[in-house]
């Protein structure tokens, strides 16, 4: 637990400095919400921060909870487009679809037989 807390505090400090360096103001509670949404996962944190950055540039210098909500919805929309395209490509191969469905349904015995 302690190392996770230290990691979150480090991430908050790092992100706050990066936003401030870009001339954007973000408060600790907003950073906490951001990291809670992403679970601290680097890819999703970066994706959400990118959307926040562009939103903040178009709306003003301060990032609030409303901006995090908007950026979250935009990031989900972008990821949905990506995964829809990926699914369309994968679904052309029935073996890949079977493997993915087995993974989703946690049927590892099916996968080991392939």
pLDDT for the residue 17: 92
Banded pLDDT at 49 (limits 50, 70, 90): very high
The single residue listed with the structure tokens 């003003």 is 60
Give me the residues paired with residue 62 across strands.
25
Banded pLDDT at 27 (limits 50, 70, 90): confident
1-28 in b/e form (b: 16+ CB < 10 A) is eeeeeeeeeebbeebbeebeeeebebee
- Mean pLDDT for 49-75 is 89
Mean pLDDT check: name the lowest of 46-55, 59-68, 96-105.
96-105
Banded pLDDT at 3 (limits 50, 70, 90): low
């Amino acid at each position: 637990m302690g190392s996770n807390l230290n990691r979150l505090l480090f991430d908050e400090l790092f992100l706050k400095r990066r936003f401030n360096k870009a001339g954007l103001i973000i408060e600790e509670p907003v950073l906490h919400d951001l990291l809670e949404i992403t679970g601290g996962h680097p890819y999703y944190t970066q994706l959400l921060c990118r959307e926040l950055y562009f939103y903040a540039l178009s709306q003003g210098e301060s990032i609030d909870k409303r901006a995090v909500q908007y950026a979250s919805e935009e990031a989900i929309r972008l990821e949905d487009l990506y995964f829809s395209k990926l699914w369309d490509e994968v679904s052309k191969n029935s073996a890949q679809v079977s493997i993915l469905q087995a993974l989703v349904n946690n049927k590892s015995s099916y996968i080991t037989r392939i």
